[in-house]
Amino acid sequence: MQKTKFKTKLIIPLLLIIVSGFLIGANVAGDDDLYEKINRNMDLFGQVYKEIALNYVDEIDADKFITAGIDGMLATLDPYTIYIDENNRDQIDLITTGKYGGVGITVSIKDSMIFVTEVMNGYEAQKKGMRVGDRIINIGGTDLIDVKVDKLRMQIRGPIGTDITVKVLRDGEEIEFNLTRQEIILKNVSYFGYLEPVDKGIGYIKLDRFTNISESEVENAIKLLKSEGELKGLVLDLRNNGGGLLDAAIGILNKLVPKNSLLVITKGKRSDSERKFFSKEDPLLPADVPLAVLINGNTASASEIVAGAVQDLDRGIIVGTTSFGKGLVQQIKDLDKRAQMKITASRYFTPSGRWIQEKNYFKENKYGVFIDNDKYNQTDFKTIGGRTVKSYGGITPDVEVVTIPESEIHTALMNKDMFFKFSDNYIASNPGLSVAVPSDEMFEQFKAFLVENNFAYESRIEKKLKEIEEIASEKKYDMNINELLDKVELEAEAGEQKEIDMAKDEILKSIAMEINARVITESEQIKETFSFDTQLQEAVSILENKPEYNRLLGK
C-alpha cells in the first residue's frame, strides 16, 4: 500500500499553538474540566487526521486536508474568525498597512473573461503600457481558463522585486508585458476638498479604509482644508468603507470629538478584559463646526466605530442608510512562520453602551458550540444629549436617504457588460476625450449600440409567462390561452423598450462612470459623482441649515 506523501511538518506545532490559546482562557475562567476536554478532543482530532491521511482509499493533499479541517472548525464560530495560510497573507498586509506586492492593476470577470478595470498611476503596469480594457489571457506562461478572481489575485501578487509575465489581448492583438512586482500603496483618503460652491465652506473627505496611516491622512486633509479657506462644515464619507484597524478609528475620532470623550468600549471573555478608549487631544475640527458622516450597508467595523461615536456623542449627524452591523474586534495571531489566524477576541460597544452586531451568529449556529446565548438583550440606549439610539443591526442614520434601487434593465445591461463594451466604442470614436458628461446624445448613441450588438434580455414577466405556458401545455389547456399569452408577451416586449427610457438617468450615470474610469484620475472620478449623489446633497443641505442640524441633534 502506497502511503500518503505529507507536504507539511508543521501540523502538530500549529495545533499545539491553538491549544495553548485555549488553555490561557481556561486558566482564567477557572474551568477545571476544560483541560481534560481539550486533551481528549485534540487526541481524537489527531487520530482522525492520521487515519485519513495514511489509510484513506485515495491519496490526499495533507496541507489542504488540514486546512479544510481547520476551516470547518472555525465555521462553527462567528464569520470573522478565519485561518490564513501563506497564500493569503497579503490580505493581512492590505488590512494593516494598505500595502501589498503587485503590479498596479485591478481586474474583474466579464462574460467569463478577465479584463483590466483599473491601471494605477505610477506603478509598473502603467509604466509598461497596460490599459483599462485589456483582456488577460496568460500569466507566467499559463493560459487562464475558468480562473477565479481570487486565484488570479494570488498569481499577480507576490514578493516585491519578483518578476511576472502577463499576456493580454487588445484589439485582436496579443501583447506580452514583463513586469516587476512593486510595493503597492493604497490611499486611505481617496478624495478631499471643498464642495461647490467653495464659498459655502463645506469640506468633504472620502475615507476608504482604516490602516496604520489613515489617521495621518485624515489629519492632513483637515489641516489643508483649514489652510485653504474657512471650514464651515465637514462631510466625512464612510460609505463602502469596510473598516480595518481599531487604533485607526480611535485616532481619527481624536480629530473630531471633544477631548476626554469616551470613544469605544471593548470587552473580551475575561471579566478583566474590558477597555475604555478616550480621546486624548483637542480636536482639529472645532466643536462648533457641524459634521455629517455618510454611511451605507457596506459601512462596517472601524467605520461603524467612528459613526457610532459621532452619533452617541451628538457630535454630528449620520446620513444615508443603515450600516453593515459588525460589532466584533479581531486580532491577528501568528501560528507559525507560514500561517496566521484572525480571531475574534472582543466585542466593541459604542459610547452609549450599545452593541451593533447585525448577524446573530449565536442563534444561527447549528452546532451549539456557544454556552451563553442570552447576552446583550438591551435594545434602547441614550446619546449624551438624551436621544434614543438602537443596538443590533448596525448604525441607523439620523437622516435616512435611500438610493433608488437598481432597475431590472440596468442590472441586465450590467450583467452583459454593455456599459463596459460601449465605453470601448465611445472612447475610440472620441479621441482625446477629457471627461464624459451625460447627455441626450450619449444616451441615443448607447441605444443604437444596443441594437447593433443585438442586446436582449429576459425580463421577470417573460420568465413568468414561459412558466405559465409550460403549465398550460402540461395541463393541455385550450389553445386560446396561448393566443392570450402571446398578446401579453407582446405587451411585455413593448414595455421593455420603454424601460430603457425610464432608466435613462441611471444608465447615463453608469456610462459616464465607466468611461471616466479610463480617462480621468480616481479623484476626478469621485468629483464627477457629486452632482447626482443624493445622500451627499442631503448632508450638505443640513450642514448649511443650522436650525435643522441642531434639531436633529436634539439641541
Contact 270, 295 (CB under 8 A): no
Cα end-to-end distance, the chain, whole Å: 80
Distance, in Å, from the CA atom of 155 to the CA atom of 158, rounded to the nearest integer, reads 7
Distance, in Å, from the CA atom of 179 to the CA atom of 136, rounded to the nearest integer, reads 14
Specify the pLDDT at position 196. Answer: 94
* Strand 328-334 relative to strand 82-84, pairing: unpaired
Point out the catalytic residue in the list 326, 342, 509, 527.
326
312 has catalytic annotation: yes
Point out the catalytic residue in the list 301, 323, 391, 510.
301
Contact 204, 193 (CB under 8 A): yes
Contact 393, 325 (CB under 8 A): yes
> Is 515 buried (19+), middle (13-18) or exposed (0-12) by CB count in 10 A?
buried
Specify the pLDDT at position 11. Answer: 37
Specify the pLDDT at position 19. Answer: 34
326 has catalytic annotation: yes
Distance, in Å, from the CA atom of 154 to the CA atom of 133, rounded to the nearest integer, reads 21
301 has catalytic annotation: yes
Per-residue model confidence as pLDDT tens for the chain (555 residues): 343 334 333 333 333 333 333 333 334 444 567 788 888 888 898 899 999 989 999 998 888 888 888 888 888 888 888 887 766 666 666 666 667 788 988 887 776 778 887 788 778 888 888 888 888 888 888 887 766 666 677 778 888 899 999 999 887 789 999 999 998 888 899 999 999 999 999 999 999 999 989 999 999 999 999 999 999 999 999 999 989 899 999 999 999 999 999 999 999 888 888 999 999 999 999 999 999 999 999 999 999 999 999 999 999 999 999 999 999 988 888 888 778 888 888 999 999 999 998 866 666 666 667 766 556 678 899 999 999 999 888 999 999 999 887 888 898 888 788 998 899 899 989 988 999 999 999 999 999 999 999 888 777 776 777 777 777 777 767 667 767 766 776 666 666 677 888 899 999 999 999 898 888 888 899 999 999 899 999 999 999 999 999 999 998
Backbone angles phi, psi at 161, to 5 degrees: 95, -10
| Longest CA pairwise span in the chain (Å) | 83
* SS3 (DSSP) at 467: helix
Q: Which residue's entry shows cell 483582456?
A: 135
Point out the catalytic residue in the list 90, 134, 208, 312.
312
Q: Which domains does the chain have, with CATH numbers?
A: 11-74 (no CATH), 99-185 (2.30.42.10), 189-402 (3.90.226.10), 408-536 (no CATH)
Specify the pLDDT at position 66. Answer: 87
Q: What is the pTM of this model?
A: 0.79
CB atoms within 10 A of CB 551: 11
